[in-house]
Structure 1
Amino acid sequence: MKIPSFSTLTLIIFFISTFSPAATADGHDHFLECLSEYPDNHAPISHLVYTKANSSYTSILQAAIWNLRFTTESTPKPHVIIAPDHESQIPPIIRCAKQTGLEIRTRSGGHDMEGLSYRSQVPFVVIDLFNLGEVTVDAEAKTAWLGAGATLGALYYHISQKSLLLGFPAGFCPTVGSGGHFSGGGDGTMVRKYGMAADNIIDARIVDARGKILDRESMGEDLFWAIRGGGGASFGVIVAWKVLLVDVPETVTVFQVSKTLEQNATELVQKWQSVAPYTDKDLFVGILLNRIDNENAQRYVDWVKRYYDYMTPYVSSNPRSAYVNYRDLDFGVNNVVGGRAMHRRAFGGKRYYKNNFDRLVLVKTMVDPENFFRFEASIPPIHSWSSDKGVCSI
């Protein structure tokens, strides 16, 4: 896919719409009606659709909500949850959502701490990928195909069943979903030796805003580049990854040292920062911060904020940057109401992607010019972004 150049002159028209309960209900009903009109063929979907009328709706929704702050009654809920078990079921979901004015949120493992994969301020549908979790390992070729709903734990398990001398450089939490983790970069314990998960992806399958199912060859190298670090949910619904496995020793030594502040933990962290970059690449040293007492949710959040402020002088500034694989909505968000991304406090794309942001905007414009796949921290197309500011401008 070649990326054309774009004029800096953009004509922008604002449309203001409101959502009434009746309109919302109509959109929900029309979506289900639209979906029923598509032939089931070899992959029926009706038994994979969950509405609020289903007794299993709440359990399906909450099964992969790891941030319990978003399990409250006040958290916006999807009108429909669909858990496809075949990639061919996803194009009708996209087309019907577009026809009926519903947004789509895609959930892989649910570890999105901002909850953007299962909540929205506008009427929406969740595509939950937990049924697309198959993993196929080819130990001889040192590759594996896995569905985007497969967790890291499932991938590691299937690799171990084929070889104890192969692994994959991704995160260490087994319940994290590969869909979001890989598309956000995928940091892990082997990053110093083999890079990130995204560095070891050799193919992928994605359903784009037109409802087309694409692999690496048909999507082109620009889109393939973008979904390996730029966040797949901005560009479509990723359904599968092909990854390159790496060599690991049969025996790995793991140890943990626990220190409190009273035991000079701060001094230990300081020494670690000066030593870590120069150690052998076969050694990974990480730091986990934990409270040792039980607090209620708000006091815990307040503590995190104080820690955030305390660390501010020691991290990047002008601009402040986000940490890999994590969203920080305090940097600003897109307002997803309406057909175009409009800013409440503009989404700071360059804080996440630095100089890669410009190219990501161009790729987005090529594959999703109408900005169908949008959320609070999505990549905007060029008509809603100002290159001189590096942020969403309208």
Structure 2
Amino acid sequence: MGLRSSIILLPVAVLLSLVGSSFATNSVHNTFVHCLLNHSEPSHPIAAAIFSQNSSSFSSVLQGHIRNLRFNTSTTPKPFLIVTPFHESHVQTTVVCAKRYNFLMKIRSGGHDYEGASYVASQPFFLMDMFNLRSIEIDMESETAWVQAGATLGELYYRIAEKSKTHGFPAGVCPTVGVGGHISGGGYGNLMRKYGTSVDNVVDAQIVDAQGRLLDRRTMGEDLFWAVRGGGGGSFGVILAYKINLVRVPEKVTVFQVGRTLEQNGTDIVYKWQHVAPTIDNNLFIRLILGVVDGTQVAKKTVRANFIALFLGDSESLVSLMKDKFPQLGLKQSDYIETSWLQSVMFWDNIDITTPVEILLERQPQSMKYLKRKSDYVKKPISKEGWEGIWKKMIELEKSVMYFNPYGGRMAEIPSTETPFPHRSGNLWKIQYQANWYEAGEEVAQYHMNLLKELHKYMTPFVSQNPRQTFMCYKDLDLGINHHGFLGYFKGRAYGVQYFTHNFKRLVEIKSKVDPTNFFRTEQSIPVLSYVEFRKLITEKSVLSLLFGLFALHWFRNLK
């Protein structure tokens, strides 16, 4: 009899010793663990999924899915407890008990949250880590799959390829990203011009709501189902799984990656790219990456433009298309590589495509680094003079990198209100600003992050305005941090309208209905605006606060 099958036979006192002796000195935490143990289903005991700070595996479990070294230091706030559910009932029990004792819960799937908001907090919290819930069930007859939140994209792609060489899924190109966080924030990849975002291909979901109920699309209703397809993680419930539509891909696809510096006519090529990439054949996705490198002259820097592409077709067809639409890039026959769609995922992650595809099952990234990200959307082409200014600024700052991801195609056909993800027609491309470094220390971090902020500020005239739009999956706490007091809605609106534009209001309405006490919350979750909040104001006996709150509710309800 194994631990998980026999553990139910042990008394609660013994079970508490299994999760760490630290709870003996903390009655509140001790009571919380009692609640978890007493309310777990007898057939699925939860004790083996609980780790206190005194547990021998606590550090390895916590650090196992930290993907940004900025949040893996001795001073990074740690959870007082980690729960790693291996059954859906564990999630339900944890939500019920956490809500009973008003504990802040963070939810992590893959750990790629750029700001660590899924596993770090400034106040006491515990972590629910979903990595044990990672099953993938594929039904080729219906061309659908159920994938649990703790699975990685690499695992999903690999399992799809096991069943079919002509199916894929539109999601990210980093195989170690967790499915739960990726899809809940919108999700995208190099299939989006053909098939849209990840959430555009979600047809059902399983969640645990704030009451601990296990819901699917039918039982949660269409409003909540709309919200969990791109409204961000940690706002509406715990995502257990998504049901996705698989999409058709050719048995052979074509990829290429080439670089051109400013000395190699880079300005004219980039200028042409911005007109071609969003309008070319929907089967072709050409990402542009800009970075600073050594120039041909000694001690002089230049900008290199890297173009990396996926084409859903053979190389002969792509050669013809590029000669017709983008001859300025000057590709040679040897630049084109035909491969399977699964191997193209490896190509995009800088993995040699001759490597066994089982590498996609590895959950640890190839390398770890400190990082910061920001994002923007561009709606109008940039003039050559504008590009020349950007080159000068990049060379001045030197360290930062920009990724340009073209839109158009299917992205321009889907209404902006179809899902919470609003960035559709009218966007030419999205920018991801990257700062990466490998040295520890706060001064080093601030140096790199300040350079990135300066580049982001310089780009202001070239990007969307009123609001300046950003991508939810590229979380950026510079946009605002919400402490969810009585001004929580207004603090939430600061970042909410940039992530969701006109869809933010509907997200707040749904949040206020399904989670009025704001149990599910992070630094940038969807805020509530409800009478529950105003009852709190009354208990504060502050007439000014109450009047302000009533005004806010009236203003919100009349907001167009």
Q: The TM-score by the shorter chain falls in which range?
A: 0.7 to 0.9
Residue pair 2:152, 2:178 contacting (<8 A) in 1 also: yes
The amino acid that maps onto 2:115 is E
Q: Secondary structure at the match of 1:144?
A: strand
Q: What's the CA shift string for 1:4-59, capped at 9, x where partnerless?
A: xxxxxxxxxxxxxxxxxx9x944322211221221432212101111110121111
The amino acid that maps onto 1:123 is P
Residue 303 of structure 1 is matched in structure 2 by 451
Q: Matched residues in 2 for 1:84 and 1:227: separation?
A: 20
Q: Secondary structure at the match of 1:258?
A: strand
Residue 528 of structure 2 is matched in structure 1 by 381
Q: What's the CA shift string for 1:312-343, capped at 9, x where partnerless?
A: 2211122222125222221112114x698476
Q: 1:354 aligns with which of 498, 501, 509?
A: 501
Residue 138 of structure 2 is matched in structure 1 by 137
Change (3 A) 1:265 1:109: farther
Residue 8 of structure 1 is matched in structure 2 by none
Q: What's the CA shift string for 1:81-138, capped at 9, x where partnerless?
A: 1110111111111111122221111101111001000011111111111001111111
Task: Identify the range of structure 1 (274-283 vs 339-348) with the bigger mean alpha-carbon deviation.
Answer: 339-348
Q: Matched residues in 2 for 1:281 and 1:252: separation?
A: 14
| Superposed displacement of residue 262, structure 1 | 5.7
Residue 319 of structure 1 is matched in structure 2 by 467
Residue 415 of structure 2 is matched in structure 1 by none
Task: Identify the range of structure 1 (225-234 vs 327-336) with the bigger mean alpha-carbon deviation.
Answer: 327-336
Q: Secondary structure at the match of 1:285?
A: strand
Q: Matched residues in 2 for 1:66 and 1:163: separation?
A: 31
Task: Identify the range of structure 1 (314-323 vs 367-376) with the bigger mean alpha-carbon deviation.
Answer: 314-323
| Superposed displacement of residue 305, structure 1 | 2.3
Q: Matched residues in 2 for 1:183 and 1:342: separation?
A: 21
Change (3 A) 1:267 1:74: farther
Task: Identify the range of structure 1 (91-100 vs 289-298) with the bigger mean alpha-carbon deviation.
Answer: 289-298
Q: Matched residues in 1 for 2:85 and 2:489: separation?
A: 31
Q: How does 1:185-196 map to 2 (within 5 A)?
A: 185-196=186-197
| Superposed displacement of residue 270, structure 1 | 3.2
Residue pair 1:65, 1:110 contacting (<8 A) in 2 also: yes
Residue 50 of structure 1 is matched in structure 2 by 51
The amino acid that maps onto 1:172 is V
| Superposed displacement of residue 302, structure 1 | 3.3
Task: Identify the range of structure 1 (135-144 vs 319-328) with the bigger mean alpha-carbon deviation.
Answer: 319-328
| Superposed displacement of residue 371, structure 1 | 0.5
Pick the structure with more helix per residue: 2
Q: Secondary structure at the match of 1:272?
A: helix
Residue pair 1:335, 1:342 contacting (<8 A) in 2 also: no
Q: Secondary structure at the match of 1:286?
A: strand
Task: Identify the range of structure 1 (184-193 vs 311-320) with the bigger mean alpha-carbon deviation.
Answer: 311-320
Residue pair 1:333, 1:343 contacting (<8 A) in 2 also: no
Residue 364 of structure 1 is matched in structure 2 by 511
Q: What's the CA shift string for 1:269-302, capped at 9, x where partnerless?
A: 3332121121000000112345668774424333
Residue pair 1:184, 1:232 contacting (<8 A) in 2 also: yes
Pick the structure with more strand per residue: 2
Change (3 A) 1:43 1:259: farther
Residue pair 1:341, 1:374 contacting (<8 A) in 2 also: no
Q: Matched residues in 2 for 1:100 and 1:157: separation?
A: 41
Change (3 A) 1:262 1:33: farther
Q: Matched residues in 2 for 1:76 and 1:291: separation?
A: 35
Q: Secondary structure at the match of 1:223?
A: helix
1:182 aligns with 2:183: yes
Q: Matched residues in 2 for 1:323 and 1:269: separation?
A: 23
Q: Matched residues in 2 for 1:344 and 1:210: separation?
A: 26
Q: What's the CA shift string for 1:229-256, capped at 9, x where partnerless?
A: 1114200100011100111000111111
Residue 225 of structure 1 is matched in structure 2 by 226
Q: Matched residues in 2 for 1:260 and 1:59: separation?
A: 43
Q: Matched residues in 1 for 2:218 and 2:172: separation?
A: 27
Residue pair 2:233, 2:525 contacting (<8 A) in 1 also: no
Residue pair 2:80, 2:125 contacting (<8 A) in 1 also: yes
Residue pair 2:489, 2:527 contacting (<8 A) in 1 also: no
Q: Matched residues in 2 for 1:90 and 1:339: separation?
A: 29
Q: Secondary structure at the match of 1:335?
A: coil
Q: Secondary structure at the match of 2:229?
A: coil
Q: Matched residues in 2 for 1:51 and 1:141: separation?
A: 43
Q: Secondary structure at the match of 2:105?
A: strand
Q: Matched residues in 2 for 1:388 and 1:265: separation?
A: 53
Task: Identify the range of structure 1 (113-122 vs 377-386) with the bigger mean alpha-carbon deviation.
Answer: 377-386
The amino acid that maps onto 1:147 is Q
Q: Secondary structure at the match of 2:287?
A: coil
Residue pair 1:27, 1:102 contacting (<8 A) in 2 also: no
1:146 aligns with 2:155: no
Q: Secondary structure at the match of 1:321?
A: coil
Residue 82 of structure 2 is matched in structure 1 by 81
Q: Matched residues in 1 for 2:103 and 2:266: separation?
A: 49
Q: Secondary structure at the match of 1:126?
A: strand
Superposition TM-score, scaled by structure 1 size: 0.87
Change (3 A) 1:258 1:387: farther
Aligned CA RMSD, in angstroms, stands at 2.5
Superposition TM-score, scaled by structure 2 size: 0.62
Query: Runs of 5+ in structure 2 lacking a partner?
Result: 1-22, 294-398, 400-436, 534-548
| Superposed displacement of residue 146, structure 1 | 0.7
Q: Secondary structure at the match of 1:256?
A: strand
Q: Secondary structure at the match of 1:373?
A: coil
Q: Secondary structure at the match of 1:202?
A: strand
Task: Identify the range of structure 1 (201-210 vs 227-236) with the bigger mean alpha-carbon deviation.
Answer: 227-236
Residue pair 1:27, 1:101 contacting (<8 A) in 2 also: no
Residue pair 1:347, 1:376 contacting (<8 A) in 2 also: no
Residue 173 of structure 1 is matched in structure 2 by 174
Residue 205 of structure 1 is matched in structure 2 by 206
Report the number of matched residues.
Answer: 368
Residue pair 2:492, 2:524 contacting (<8 A) in 1 also: no
Q: Between the two proteins, what is the percent identity of the paired residues?
A: 49
Residue pair 1:31, 1:100 contacting (<8 A) in 2 also: yes
Q: Secondary structure at the match of 2:257?
A: coil
The amino acid that maps onto 1:366 is K
The amino acid that maps onto 1:198 is V
Residue pair 1:319, 1:351 contacting (<8 A) in 2 also: yes
